[in-house]
Amino acid sequence: MQDEGVSGEESSGLPAARRRFGQNFLTDLGAIGRIVAALAPLPLENVLEIGPGRGALTEALLAAVPKISAVEIDRDLAAHLRARYAEDRLQLIESDVLDLSFRALARSSPLVIVGNLPYNISKPVAMKLVVERRAVSRAVLMFQREVALRLTSAPGSRDYGPLTVLAGRAYRIERVFDLAPGAFHPRPQVTSTVTRWTPREDEALPDALVEPLKDVLAAAFARRRQTLQKNLRAALSADAAALLLEEAGLDGTLRAEAVPPEGFVALARAWPI
Residue 18 has a pLDDT of 47
98, 125 Cβ separation under 8 angstroms: yes
In the CATH scheme, what is the code of domain 8-204? 3.40.50.150
Using the 8-state DSSP alphabet, how is residue 203 labeled? G
Cα radius of gyration (the chain) = 21
Backbone angles phi, psi at 253, to 5 degrees: -80, -5
Topology (CATH level 3) of domain 207-270: Helicase, Ruva Protein; domain 3 (1.10.8)
Identical fold between 8-204 and 207-270: no
What does each C-alpha distance from 62 to 55, 59, 146 come to in angstroms?
10, 5, 30
Q: Please name the helix (run of DSSP H) or strand (run of DSSP E) that holds residue 94, with its range, or none.
A: strand 90-94
CB neighbours of residue 238 within 10 Å? 12
Tens-binned pLDDT, residue by residue, of the chain (273 aa): 332 333 344 435 665 544 544 558 899 999 999 999 999 999 999 999 999 989 999 999 999 999 999 999 999 999 999 999 999 999 999 999 999 999 999 999 999 999 998 888 999 999 999 999 999 999 999 999 999 999 999 999 999 999 999 999 999 999 999 999 999 987 888 999 999 999 998 789 999 999 999 999 999 999 999 999 999 999 999 999 999 999 999 999 999 999 999 999 999 999 987
Delimit the domains of the chain by residue range. 8-204, 207-270
What does each C-alpha distance from 167 to 195, 196, 235 come to in angstroms?
12, 12, 23
Residue 23 has a pLDDT of 59
Residue 13 has a pLDDT of 64
Cα–chain center distance at 273: 27
